[in-house]
């Protein structure tokens, strides 16, 4: 039986819930018998509405939709081996994340939810591990194990991406992504004139988020305010990214980076 009371309150407060039938993975609107969309907020509902739809017998499960608001979900298909022990992959990821974890609907896998960001919307490594920040949903059970608290852990997200999604190091044209640290270039002064801003090298399409996150982290460590970091990211985004990242993604980067103490 689902134990929805174990789902973190922070998730319950978001209007990002859908429903699903037991024999399907298609998201459904909780307020009417129609398919929902993982990219259309108008088809989602408050947590209580989704739970009530299940309680009334209209659906069998509830689902949480990721909407690019500093929440990342990791789906581990094979959480247990044939002897009933947690698999090495699951133990590795759970131990690193240490955030809210629940058994999947099948009872064989795990869902981990934590705060942080990704340099992409989502990936399936085709080897039993998926990770998303938007445009996908998890069928939630509330069957929490080990970790019951939703916590922020960007270091763990970076670890999972680095180890289980190595293809992220390349852009869509398979060009090397290069160093994860994005470094502006300060030109030598010309006469008595000193440039107040560095030169920002061009950022390949597949590297925009991670490079701007690196830049934001550097500025944060140097004592820049949140507003100053955002302004500089807007400038860098304009002169170095083609196409530019949407402003809401820049805000997500700044909010994530400035949570950490210098």
* Domain stop point among 117, 138, 167: 167
* Whether residue 186 is found in the same domain as residue 151: no
What does pTM read for this prediction? Answer: 0.66
Closest Cα partner for 71 from 18, 137, 163?
137
The predicted structure's pLDDT at residue 262:
57
* Whether residue 126 is found in the same domain as residue 202: no
For the stretch 172-225, pLDDT in tens is: 333 444 444 677 777 655 555 555 678 888 887 667 888 888 888 888 888 889
The predicted structure's pLDDT at residue 181:
61
Decide the pairing of beta strands 110-115 and 71-76: antiparallel
Structural domain count, the chain: 2
* Whether residue 221 is found in the same domain as residue 135: no
Per-residue H/E/C for the chain:
CCCHHHCCHHHHCCCCEEEECCCCCCCECCCCCCECCCCCHHHCECHHHHHHHHHCCCCCEEEEEEECCCEEEEEECCCECCCCCECHHHHHHHHHHCCCEEECCCCCCEEEEEECCCCCCEEECCCCEEEECEEEEEEECCCECCCCCCCECHHHHHHHHHHHCHHHHECCCCCECCCCCCCCECCCCECCECCCCCECCCECHHHHHHHHHHHHHHHHHCCCCHHHHHHHHHHHHHHHECCCCCHHHHHHHHHHHCCCCC
What are 190's strand-pairing partners? 193
* Domain stop point among 110, 143, 167: 167
For the stretch 9-56, pLDDT in tens is: 999 999 999 999 998 989 999 999 999 999 999 999 999 999 999 999
* Whether residue 27 is found in the same domain as residue 60: yes
**Which comes out higher in pLDDT, residue 1 or 141?**
141
Mean pLDDT value across the chain: 87
The predicted structure's pLDDT at residue 2:
60
The predicted structure's pLDDT at residue 189:
56
The predicted structure's pLDDT at residue 217:
84
* Whether residue 40 is found in the same domain as residue 18: yes
pLDDT level of residue 3 (50, 70, 90 thresholds):
confident
CA dihedral 132→135→141→143, nearest 10 degrees, is 20
Domain assignment present for residue 40? The answer is yes
* Whether residue 188 is found in the same domain as residue 157: no
For the stretch 51-79, pLDDT in tens is: 999 999 999 999 999 999 999 999 999 99
Q: What is the mean pLDDT of residues 233-247?
A: 90
Q: If you search the block for the tokens 């997500």, which residue do you land on? A: 252
Domain assignment present for residue 44? The answer is yes
* Whether residue 128 is found in the same domain as residue 151: yes
Q: What is the mean pLDDT of residues 98-112?
A: 96
pLDDT level of residue 170 (50, 70, 90 thresholds):
very low
The predicted structure's pLDDT at residue 252:
87
The predicted structure's pLDDT at residue 188:
58
Domain assignment present for residue 12? The answer is yes
Per-residue H/E/C for 96-142:
HHCCCEEECCCCCCEEEEEECCCCCCEEECCCCEEEECEEEEEEECC
The predicted structure's pLDDT at residue 44:
98
Domain assignment present for residue 89? The answer is yes
Domain assignment present for residue 217? The answer is yes
* Whether residue 20 is found in the same domain as residue 103: yes
Tell me which residue range forms the domain holding 145.
Answer: 4-167
């Amino acid at each position: 039986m689902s134990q929805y009371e174990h789902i973190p309150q922070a998730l319950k407060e978001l209007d990002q819930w859908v429903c699903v039938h037991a024999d399907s993975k298609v998201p459904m609107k909780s307020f009417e018998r129609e398919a929902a969309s993982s990219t259309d907020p108008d088809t989602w509902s408050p947590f209580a509405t989704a739970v009530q739809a299940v309680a009334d017998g209209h659906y069998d499960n509830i689902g949480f939709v990721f909407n690019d608001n500093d929440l990342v979900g990791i789906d581990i298909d094979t959480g247990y081996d044939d002897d009933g022990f947690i698999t090495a992959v699951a133990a590795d990821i759970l131990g690193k994340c240490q955030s809210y974890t629940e058994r999947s609907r099948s009872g064989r896998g795990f869902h981990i939810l934590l705060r942080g960001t990704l340099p992409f919307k989502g990936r399936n490594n085709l080897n039993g591990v998926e990770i998303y920040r938007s445009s996908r949903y998890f069928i939630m059970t509330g069957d929490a194990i080990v970790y019951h608290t939703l916590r922020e852990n960007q270091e763990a997200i970076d670890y999972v991406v680095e180890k289980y999604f190595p293809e992220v190091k390349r852009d869509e044209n398979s060009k090397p992504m290069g160093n994860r640290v994005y470094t502006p270039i300060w030109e030598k002064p010309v006469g008595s004139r000193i440039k107040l801003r560095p030169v920002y090298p061009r950022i390949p399409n597949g590297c925009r988020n991670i490079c701007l996150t690196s830049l934001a982290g550097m500025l944060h460590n140097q004592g820049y305010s949140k507003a100053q970091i955002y302004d500089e990211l807007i400038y860098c985004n304009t002169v170095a990214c083609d196409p530019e990242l949407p402003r809401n993604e820049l805000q997500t980067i700044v909010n994530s980076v400035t949570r950490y103490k210098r």
